[in-house]
Structure 1
Amino acid sequence: MTDKYLVFGNPVSHSLSPDIHTFFAKTTDQDLVYDRCLVQEGKFKEQADAFFKEGGLGCNITVPCKLDAFSYADELSDYAKAAGAVNTLKKLSDGRIYGDNTDGRGLVYDLKRLNCPLEGSKTLIIGAGGAAKGIIKPILECNPCCITIANRTFNKAQDLADQYQMVKASTLEDLNETFDVIINSTSASLKDELPGIKDEIIAKTRFVYDLMYRKNGETVFTQKAKSLNIQHAYDGFGMLIGQAVLSFKLWRGVEPDFKKTLEKFR
């Protein structure tokens, strides 16, 4: 029987996950179908219960359901615990539901492809929301020199920094250091807005990455970086592929071809 997977979210019609995972299945010879499910407000548990009861084996979770999925899981990976959110659920052989978060490792997957100088680096993360929280642990595993979290509201950045050694907090306005790597974890680019960091901070860096992405590969933030002569400035499309690769591997035990998938959908 064909195995069933899907993505939960609201909105969800825009999600590329069904296309990506269908491509994975085809290229790895896996018998499965992957669909979308629009989650009604307050109905995640009910809809997830129905999906697994009807034979579903796993699902991806997008906004605004990642916290619901975190609460729903019977068992959590260390990455999910660190992120405080789940983007991947898997039904285990004993019927329990396992929750993981592949977002941060998906980012690192792409950063390594792009030869980002993470090891030994001074890394700046702009924003202190859920996206930032989900990427800190995987970045720390790459042995940077230190991480600074910069946010408009200092207390929010400090609360996140306090959870780790080698991580400190700052407001955007107070930044005055030079960073090797700058990662924009805010959603500002979705509204074609810049995150509020000074041009002179961007101009001194070696590598810029925006977690948001555009079809043409350029966000307003990567465009700003390139206008300041930063040669290595990338959007987050590779992170999208990377987190999907890791979800699929968790479910199926096989790892799809990252490069081939990127070429297919970019």
Structure 2
Amino acid sequence: MSKHYAVFGSPITHSQSPRIHAAFAKQTGIGMDYVAIAANHDDFRAKLDASGVVGANITLPLKEDAFALCAGNVSARALRAGAVNTVLRDGAQWRGDNTDGLGLVRDLTERHGLDLRGRRTLLLGAGGAARGVAPALLDAGIHSLYVINRNSARADALVDAMGEPGRTHARAWDTLPALGEFDLLINATSASRGGQLPSLAMALVAPRSVAVDLSYGEAAVPFLAWARAAGCAQTVDGLGMLVEQAAESFLLWHGVRPDTAAVFAELSGRADALLTAD
């Protein structure tokens, strides 16, 4: 009998997660169904409990809500991040984990061949997405991490949670032009989902800079277009990260890690077609 899984968030109609997990299930011969469920801060817990799922992925804007919902029953990496993107039913409660950071690092290093070591890194945003990837970037050996957020208190909180003073820095958005060049620039904000890209100085870009947007498809276009215009050597959207973090979630639920190459190839071809269509 198939078990039930879902992804919760808002907006959610664009999500490729059901397609990804259907492909993983077919590949591994595991019986499961997986759907997208729209939820916001006020109804997330009720919808999760009523859904009948045994496991779920959590996306914007609910990753910190999911962390609170798990009430301390979380993995070490989720605890460090203060955000949860994967839950598994644990009796009457939920157990939480965060596969975002591992998914991002795996995509950048294995699929795109990037050496993250020694890179001066700019992280735009301090919400659940940023919290999920910050610890893994530090563990991957980046030189330093500058967190920029319009709400400076959230940037301060993220940096404090990392526990690496001198290597992590919180800065206000209006200080961006004076921060110098970065080797790795990551957009973890949701602003570009509405086509609204905050003003960024081209002086942030160095000759070998790589720009990464944690979103994918049309939501990633504004930031990556700016990055190319500013002279970034390479730009990467969040589709590969999505596939890799999904594979890690699948492993947590089923004890099997699916192969991601064919799934990424299919989805990236589909995304290219959508972005180039008239």
Using the size of structure 1 for normalisation, the TM-score is 0.87
Q: Corresponding residue for 1:157?
A: 155
Contact 2:101 2:135 in 1 (8 A): yes
For 1:49 and 1:129, the matched residues in 2 are separated by: 24
Q: Corresponding residue for 1:128?
A: 126
Aligned to 2:246, the other structure's residue is in SS state helix
Give the letter aligned to residue 187 of structure 2.
N
1:22 aligns with 2:22: yes
Contact 1:117 1:181 in 2 (8 A): no
Seen in structure 2, the aligned counterparts of structure 1 residues 9 and 129 have a Cα distance that, compared at 3 Å, is: closer
Render the CA deviation track for 1:183-237: whole Å, top value 9, x for unaligned.
Answer: 111123222233322111125452111112215x961221122223323111111
**Greater mean deviation of Cα atoms: 104-113 or 7-16:** 7-16
Render the CA deviation track for 1:80-100: whole Å, top value 9, x for unaligned.
Answer: 2223222211124x5642111
Contact 1:203 1:225 in 2 (8 A): no
Give the letter aligned to residue 25 of structure 2.
A
Aligned to 2:145, the other structure's residue is in SS state strand
Contact 1:212 1:219 in 2 (8 A): no
For 1:67 and 1:169, the matched residues in 2 are separated by: 19
Aligned to 1:118, the other structure's residue is in SS state coil
Seen in structure 2, the aligned counterparts of structure 1 residues 42 and 179 have a Cα distance that, compared at 3 Å, is: closer
Q: Corresponding residue for 1:46?
A: 46
| Shift of residue 25, structure 1, vs aligned partner | 0.3
Structure 1 outlier segments of 4+, above 6 Å: none
Aligned pairs (5 A) from 1:88-237:
88-92=86-90, 96-112=93-109, 113-163=111-161, 164-165=163-164, 166-174=167-175, 175-214=178-217, 219-237=221-239
| Structure with greater helix share of residues | 2
| Shift of residue 63, structure 1, vs aligned partner | 3.0
Using the size of structure 2 for normalisation, the TM-score is 0.84
Choose from 60, 67, 72 the match for 1:70: 67
| Shift of residue 156, structure 1, vs aligned partner | 3.6
Structure 1 unpaired stretches of 5+: none
Structure 2 unpaired stretches of 5+: 269-278
Aligned to 1:219, the other structure's residue is in SS state helix
**What percent identity do the matched residue pairs reach?**
38
Q: Corresponding residue for 1:239?
A: 241
Number of corresponding residues: 261
